[in-house]
């Protein structure tokens, strides 16, 4: 998939939306120095291209009673395509799994789960993860304290800036 080049205005739009996706188009246009119509056109183009995948509200899990984050390493009995696909389908059906990554190294998958308490974690591991066909080992580690959590990508570090368009 080719890298999408973004100009300075697109980058400002994305930075503002990563900070607050609830901005109105008028508010966003003011912040990035455009009039509303061209701003909306750029946002729609970023959505159409897939750069903006979706807009969400970020909730505070602790305030909702789910204040335990656990990282779980899962190793499968076999690493065949069928086994990997079966595990991934099963994980997609477990709502407590917030993130799941296919890994290199000792474990095949790394999961981040959020649960309200250790009893809920016990049920998740024993009743759901252990029951997934092909799971060989499960290792869990509790997060004691969240030091940093970001959802905004560091655009200045990751994305190449498009050359400025020449005036005709």
Architecture label for domain 8-57: Orthogonal Bundle (1.10)
Domain spans in the chain, listed from the N-terminal domain onward: 8-57, 62-142
Q: Which residues pair with 110 in a beta bridge?
A: 73, 101
Which 8-state DSSP code applies to residue 6? B
Spatial separation of the C-alpha atoms in residues 51 and 14, rounded to whole Å: 9
Mean pLDDT of 118-136: 95
Exposed/middle/buried for 14, CB within 10 Å: 0-12, 13-18, 19+? buried
CA-CA-CA-CA torsion sign (67, 73, 77, 82): positive
Residue showing tokens 């909702």: 64
For residue 2, the model assigns a pLDDT of 61
For residue 67, the model assigns a pLDDT of 83
List the CATH code of the domain at 62-142. 3.30.70.920
The structure's pTM equals: 0.84
For residue 162, the model assigns a pLDDT of 66
Helix 8-19 and helix 36-48, axial crossing angle in degrees, nearest 10: 80
Mean pLDDT of 104-128: 96
Least confident of 97-101, 112-116, 117-121, 156-160: 156-160
11 pLDDT more than 90: yes
Tell me the pLDDT tens digit for each residue of 25-73.
999 999 999 999 999 999 999 999 999 999 999 999 889 988 899 999 9
């Amino acid at each position: 998939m080719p890298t999408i080049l973004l100009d300075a205005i697109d980058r400002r739009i994305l930075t503002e939306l990563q900070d607050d996706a609830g901005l109105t188009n008028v508010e966003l246009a003011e912040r990035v120095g455009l009039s509303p119509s061209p701003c909306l056109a750029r946002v729609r183009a970023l959505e159409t291209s897939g750069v903006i995948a979706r807009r969400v509200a970020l909730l505070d899990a602790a305030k909702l009673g789910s204040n335990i984050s656990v990282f779980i390493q899962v190793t499968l009995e076999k690493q065949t395509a069928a086994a990997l696909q079966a595990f991934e389908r099963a994980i997609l059906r477990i709502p407590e799994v917030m993130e799941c990554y296919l890994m290199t190294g000792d474990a095949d998958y790394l999961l981040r789960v959020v649960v309200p308490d250790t009893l809920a974690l016990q049920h998740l591991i024993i009743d759901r993860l252990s029951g997934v066909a092909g799971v060989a080992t499960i290792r869990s580690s509790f997060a004691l304290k969240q030091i940093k959590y970001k959802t905004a990508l560091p655009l200045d570090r990751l994305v190449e800036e498009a050359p400025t368009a020449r005036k005709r």
